[in-house]
A and B are shown apart, each in its own frame.
Chain A
Amino acid sequence: MTTHSAMRFAILQFPASNCDQDCVHALRVLGSQAKLVWHKDTSLGDVDAVIVPGGFSYGDALRCGAIARFSPVMQAVSRFADNGGLVLGICNGFQILCEAGLLPGALIRNRDLRFHCEQVFLKTANFETPFTSEIRRDGVPLRIPIAHGEGCYFADAPTLERLQTQRQILWQYCDASGAVTEAANPNGSVLNIAGIANERFNVAGLMPHPDRAVEGILGTEDGRSILNSMILALESRRASAVAVA
């Protein structure tokens, strides 16, 4: 039986990724295995999930994530996602997944043209996903840091309508009481969107950094429940695979 062994995460590493080690550390704190996968690699190896980490891949040349999405490893990530594998993009990773077409929409300059590095509050809009199932449901918002200059989520009206009807919006910027208000929107994102999932709910992205929020010494542990949701989803997948076998 292998159901009790740790889940194995691949953390991608592009030139100028800078949260790759944060992700490795966070997952190890949570009892999972994490290995770095170089952007030139054409295979992810034997892993259960992929995290595309934050940073400034390729110096944000042309557009954030525009170059990284054509790297060899992203072909492997697309295949992994097509096969139903869990993929989470954080910050620059979210931008890369949007550029790659694995998630709808795009991320543009913050409306005030400023880089925001601060704690924000997040309302979880759908708890029935592999990225959100372990998040507290008592209405208290998550407190997680952001650090980005281009985190303003944009999608056209038909896409936004689809995101809403299919409940693909996972997180929205809100105030300390959980209210989704214009004042609580740090970057101008439409509908205060901080993170979304694809239609199959196996690929998600968000601008805030759960990887920087798993230890009290950093001011908040609220990122744990996002990563733990993934770990739990992987454990139940593995258990049902074992049961079938």
Chain B
Amino acid sequence: MKAKLVITPKKAVLDPQGKTVANALEHMGYAGVTGVRVGKYIEIDLAPGTSAADAHNALNEAALRFLSNPVIEDYRLEIVE
């Protein structure tokens, strides 16, 4: 069982890394790219038999308090078997 957390910079926050990657894609000839946001992916292993609902609640709290910074980042949390 795993938790998957995808963290991305908020729309209002400058993302120079994303901009640089977008420019590179354009130079490489990949047409139609209108924007890139570079974020983080965190994979958390969970003990077998953990309640998915409990894990979601606990990690949602951890994501708000610690794993992401709500001032600058959004996140998406998913619990998978």
Report the contact-size class of chain A (Cβ under 8 Å from the partner): 20 to 34
Q: Does A37 contact B (CB under 8 A)?
A: no
Q: Give the contact stretch, choosing among A44-52, A128-136, A149-157, A166-174.
A: A149-157
Partner of B71 from the list A110, A152, A154 (CB cut-off 8 Å) is A154
Q: Whole-angstrom distance between the alpha carbons of A12 and B20 in the complex?
A: 36
Which residues of A are found within 8 Å of B72, using beta-carbon distances?
A: 106, 108, 154
Which residues of A are found within 8 Å of B69, using beta-carbon distances?
A: 63, 66, 99, 106
Given contacts A106-B71, A108-B72, A154-B72, contact A113 B17 (CB under 8 A): yes
The answer to whether A105 touches B71, judged by C-beta atoms less than 8 angstroms apart, is yes
Q: Mark B1-27, 1 if CB is under 8 A from A, else 0.
A: 000000001001110110010000000
Report the contact-size class of chain B (Cβ under 8 Å from the partner): 10 to 19
The answer to whether B16 touches A110, judged by C-beta atoms less than 8 angstroms apart, is yes
Q: Whole-angstrom distance between the alpha carbons of A105 and B14 in the complex?
A: 14
Q: Which of A93-132 contact B (CB under 8 A)?
A: 98-99, 104-106, 108-113
Q: Does A62 contact B (CB under 8 A)?
A: yes
Q: Does B30 contact A (CB under 8 A)?
A: no
Q: Mark B49-81, 1 if CB is under 8 A from A, else 0.
A: 000000000000000001101011000000000
Q: Whole-angstrom distance between the alpha carbons of A154 and B69 in the complex?
A: 12
Q: Does A55 contact B (CB under 8 A)?
A: no
Given contacts A62-B67, A66-B69, A70-B66, contact A156 B17 (CB under 8 A): no
Q: Whole-angstrom distance between the alpha carbons of A98 and B45 in the complex?
A: 29
Which residues of B are found within 8 Å of A145, using beta-carbon distances?
A: none
Given contacts A105-B71, A106-B71, contact A154 B14 (CB under 8 A): yes
Query: A residues bordering B, Cβ < 8 Å?
Result: 62-63, 66, 70, 98-99, 104-106, 108-113, 152, 154-156, 188
Q: List 26 A-B contacts (CB under 8 A).
A: A62-B66, A62-B67, A63-B69, A66-B66, A70-B66, A98-B71, A104-B71, A105-B71, A106-B71, A106-B72, A108-B9, A108-B13, A109-B17, A110-B16, A111-B14, A111-B16, A112-B16, A113-B16, A113-B20, A152-B14, A154-B13, A154-B14, A156-B12, A156-B71, A188-B14, A188-B16
